[in-house]
Amino acid sequence: MSKLCGGWKFTSNHLSDEDGRIIFIWRDPGKVRILNQSRQSLTCQITLPNSKCFTYTSIYASNLSSDRTELWVELLNVSQTLSLNSSPWMLGGDFNQILYPSENSNPDVISSNSRMLEFRDCLTQLGMFDLRFQGPLHTWTSCQPESPVAKKLDRLLVNCHLLSLFPNSFANFLPPPPL
């Protein structure tokens, strides 16, 4: 990495997942300290110059709902262990789960299912909510022109402490690949 990107540092979740699906890259003067990692997440304390430190959890959730349930439990445990309910915290990445029927382009999806409710319940317990964003609502497409589906699977979630620290922050989502 140092040969390709001089001055840049990185960490990953390779210790918890042989594929190491989460890679976190930064450059000085920012400081990053790993707090927790698993197969589906990487939690770091981030310190920026002239700013209070905050916690960031990068997410790459499994396609399997049973594995995502384990992730929701893990996030609740991490929050409790690190007392994140009283400090600035941000969660970002591919959650592989929608929160509301409107986040699915399929007109047959008209009501919440147990997986949506489970995810929503987890975020409520964590005190996390979507950061305002620019870009499309749907961040993923099936890339199947004969039966296209688009969903909001990628999110940037924050708590009120993070928003107080960075009141002008917002997320910017790029459009998914065309069908």
Mutual orientation of helices 114-126 and 65-81 as an angle, nearest 10°? 10
Q: What is the domain extent for residue 72?
A: 8-171
Confidence bin at 17 (pLDDT 50/70/90): confident
2 within domain boundaries: no
Averaged pLDDT for residues 29-58: 96
d(CA 147, CA 153): 18
User: How high is the pLDDT of residue 98?
Assistant: 98
- 140, two tokens: 């993923």
> Checking DSSP bridges between strand 8-12 and strand 23-27, what pairing results, if any?
antiparallel
Share of the chain above pLDDT 70, in %: 98
37 within domain boundaries: yes
CA distance readout (Å), 145 to 40, 135, 178: 30, 22, 9
Res. 143: pLDDT tops 90: no
The tens digit of pLDDT for each residue in 49-98 reads: 999 999 999 999 999 999 999 999 999 999 999 999 999 999 999 999 99
Averaged pLDDT for residues 38-47: 97
Q: How many structural domains are present in the chain?
A: 1
179 within domain boundaries: no
82 within domain boundaries: yes
Q: What integer best gives the mean pLDDT of the chain?
A: 94
178 within domain boundaries: no
User: How high is the pLDDT of residue 5?
Assistant: 75
d(CA 93, CA 40): 10
User: How high is the pLDDT of residue 1?
Assistant: 60
The CATH number assigned to the domain holding 111 equals 3.60.10.10
Characterize 90-107 residue by residue with b for buried, 16 or more Cβ atoms within 10 angstroms of its Cβ, and e for exposed: bbbbbbbbbbeeebbeee
Least confident of 14-28, 97-111, 129-143: 14-28
Confidence bin at 133 (pLDDT 50/70/90): very high
d(CA 81, CA 87): 12
d(CA 159, CA 66): 26
